[in-house]
Amino acid sequence: MDSKRSAALFAQARELIPGGVNSPVRACRNVHADPLFIASARGAHLKTVDGEDFIDFLGSWGPMLLGHAHARVVAAIQRAAALGTSYGAPCEDEVELARVVCEALPSVEMVRMVNSGTEATMSALRLARAFTGRNKMVKFIGGYHGHGDAFLASAGSGVATFSIPGTPGVPAETVKDTLLAPYNDIDAVRALFEKDPGGIAAVFVEPVAGNMGLVLPQPGFLAGLRDLCTRYGALLVFDEVITGFRVDYRGAQGRFGIMPDLTTFGKIIGGGLPVGAYGGRADIMAHVAPQGEVYQAGTLSGNPLAMAAGIATLEVLRHSDYAGLESRVHAFVMELEEILRSKGVPVQIPHIASMFSVYFTEAPIVDFAHVQTTDQRLFEAFYKQMRAQGIFMAPSAFEANMLSFAHTDEDFSKALDAARSVRF
Ligand SMILES: *Cc1c(COP(=O)(O)O)cnc(C)c1O
């Protein structure tokens, strides 16, 4: 592949945009590659500015479960755009998207639209703190909830009872109330509650972790969190920004049968436009302004284009064959794992619904500490050789691949052929 124009654009971009990208992982630094600039996308395929065709395994990091430029979604956006792009006053589609979301997830009785997943989790945290009158929050090591200050804490050493900001620019006092536990470690969460029984406002969890690479919840983990939150009067917040409408139309909460108090959304519910949302129990959501006292606002929130794209996307998804896609992805993953194993490398490919991650390790993955021990050199070799053969995968072992209903059997078999010729 000859990515001359991508390279030229990246050189210009680095002069004008920090790192040349508007979101860091896009720069592909983890795998020591340069980003590709995309000119267009359709179905499961991307076309670069150099005219190269890629099978897209990244799905814009999650939103594109229907594939790119789905005819129904494009038509809905075009229709909406012709009617004006922002009103600063309510529109009918806001009510409709709220209704669709509330109908799909029984735990969500009321919902507020925002513009990104980051905004959704920041707002849900403020609401949880106001509702409980408590300040502390539990999150999981390697869990990602957007770039809000309070969430950007990583572990110190051992079980962290105090947090260290994961980035300069976040004052230590901003994350001092962020408590950390290893994913899947219910005993660690119990210990945090026992230490401060009346201090924890909320537990934030990705019900399927998708931002440390894909890590599945162990049996009993999510139910254990539900029990602890109920017992100690804390709110259980499922961050379903990835999993909402992806692991199941009813979200991870529907799939695993757990009722959180609050849920955050993003990615899919905007059909590829910038949207987030948070919702949950009506008695909690009633505290959001102007019904209640917790301030949260947005000039473009409930944007008519985004609402139209979201409604069209969810309408198609409601009639989509999730089980069929999951079994095709399962078959693909089993074959991919066998191909890689036959090359003598250790490999684990956890997967659920349309998500999977490729880890080069023998040990089954249960938390972020495990993920960090996986072989990054093998991953880089795999990523680069797949990309050189036209397969566009998540450019880091700490990210998940996101497949779509647009992926054909031919796309899968091309990816398997590419994997067969990888050399380690
Ligand atoms: C992507 C993501 C976010 C942040 O959403 P943005 O729209 O990128 O701000 C939050 N939580 C989870 C689980 C995510 O995957």
What pLDDT does residue 211 have?
92
What pLDDT does residue 300 have?
97
**239 is a catalytic site residue:** yes
- Report the C-alpha gap between 284 and 282 in whole angstroms: 5
Beta carbon of 145 within 6 Å of any ligand 1 atom: yes
Contact at 8 Å (CB) between 244 and 269?
A: yes
Q: Quick one: which of 97, 99, 105, 149 has its CA closest to 126?
A: 149
- Report the C-alpha gap between 372 and 141 in whole angstroms: 11
pLDDT tens-digit map of 119-145:
999 999 999 999 999 999 999 999 999
What pLDDT does residue 160 have?
40
Q: What is the 121 CA–ligand 1 centroid distance (Å)?
A: 8
Residue 68: strand pairing partners: 43
- Report the C-alpha gap between 337 and 326 in whole angstroms: 16
Three-class secondary structure of residue 247 per DSSP? coil
Contact at 8 Å (CB) between 149 and 170?
A: yes
Beta carbon of 125 within 6 Å of any ligand 1 atom: no
Beta carbon of 402 within 6 Å of any ligand 1 atom: no
Q: What is the 332 CA–ligand 1 centroid distance (Å)?
A: 27
| Third-level CATH fold of 4-66+321-420 | Aspartate Aminotransferase, domain 1 (3.90.1150)
Beta carbon of 146 within 6 Å of any ligand 1 atom: yes
Number of residues assigned to the chain: 424
Three-class secondary structure of residue 342 per DSSP? coil
pLDDT tens-digit map of 276-307:
999 999 999 999 999 999 999 999 999 999 99
**Which one is catalytic: 267, 322, 383, 411?**
267
What pLDDT does residue 174 have?
87
Check the CA dihedral 341-325-75-102 and report its sign.
Answer: negative
Three-class secondary structure of residue 250 per DSSP? coil
Q: Starting at the earlier edge strand, list the strands of the sheet with 262-265.
A: 110-114, 276-280, 262-265, 235-239, 200-205, 136-140, 178-181
CATH architecture of 71-318: 3-Layer(aba) Sandwich (3.40)
Q: And the tokens for 151?
A: 């969430």
> In the chain, where are the structural domains located?
4-66+321-420, 71-318
Contact at 8 Å (CB) between 421 and 385?
A: yes
Residue 161 clears pLDDT 80, i.e. is over it = no
Q: Whose CA is nearest to atom 11 of ligand 1?
A: 145
The model's confidence at residue 216, banded by pLDDT at 50, 70 and 90, is very high
Above pLDDT 70, what percent of the chain? 97
Taking each helix axis as running N to C, give the angle between helix 71-81 and helix 304-318, from 0 to 180 degrees, rounded to the nearest 10.
Answer: 160
- Report the C-alpha gap between 226 and 222 in whole angstroms: 6
The model's confidence at residue 163, banded by pLDDT at 50, 70 and 90, is low
Q: What is the 276 CA–ligand 1 centroid distance (Å)?
A: 9
Residue 310 clears pLDDT 60, i.e. is over it = yes
H or E element that contains 26: none
**Which one is catalytic: 136, 139, 144, 232?**
144
The model's confidence at residue 257, banded by pLDDT at 50, 70 and 90, is very high
Tell me the best of 140, 151, 262, 267 to mutate to test the pocket of ligand 1, counting ligand atoms within 8 Å of each CB and taking the most. Answer: 267
Residue 271 clears pLDDT 80, i.e. is over it = yes
DSSP assignment string, 348-384: B--EETTEE--B--SSPP-SHHHHHTS-HHHHHHHHH
Residue 156 clears pLDDT 60, i.e. is over it = no
Q: How many CB atoms lie within 10 A of CB 342?
A: 9
- Report the C-alpha gap between 337 and 357 in whole angstroms: 11
Residue 154 clears pLDDT 80, i.e. is over it = no
Q: Is 280 exposed, middle or buried (0-12, 13-18, 19+ CB in 10 A)?
A: buried
Q: What is the 103 CA–ligand 1 centroid distance (Å)?
A: 23
Q: Quick one: which of 221, 185, 225, 230 has its CA closest to 369?
A: 185
DSSP assignment string, 150-213: GG-EE--SSS-SS-EESSTTS-HHHHTTEEEE-TT-HHHHHHHHHHSTTTEEEEEE-SSB-SSS
pTM of the model: 0.97
Strand ranges for 173-323 from DSSP E: 178-181, 200-205, 235-239, 262-265, 276-280
